[in-house]
Amino acid sequence: MADLLNEAAEVIHQKSVGSGHAEVSEMGDRAANWLEHSADYVREIEPQRLRADLEDKVRRNPGRSLMIAGIVGLVLGSVFRRRR
């Protein structure tokens, strides 16, 4: 899972730099940095605690969670589509 998060972060970094728009680039960098931190977190934490922390964060920030899930889904979809 952590490797997939890092791969998604790398793709977002690449796409945001090549976008040509400062706002898109900034948002992409923030999302990619968040994914990198999440990958580090996943590597270090126990599965039970990870689930409890994730549920807590989703309950506190449902809008942000949906936005992040959407971005991650789009990136992972494009990554897997290219591998075929």
Query: How many residues are listed for the chain in this entry?
Result: 84
Which structural domain, as residue segments, surrounds residue 27? 2-83
State the Rg of the chain over Cα.
13
Q: What pLDDT score does 41 carry? A: 81
Per-residue pLDDT of the chain (84 residues; tens, 9 = 90+): 788 888 888 888 887 777 677 777 788 888 888 889 888 887 887 778 878 888 999 999 999 989 988 988 888 888 777 765
Q: What pLDDT score does 84 carry? A: 59
Q: What pLDDT score does 19 carry? A: 64
Helix/strand/coil for 45 = coil
Range 52-84 burial, b when 16+ CB lie within 10 A, else e: eeeeeeeeeeeeeeeebeebbeebeeeeeeeee
Total structural domains within the chain: 1
Q: What pLDDT score does 74 carry? A: 86
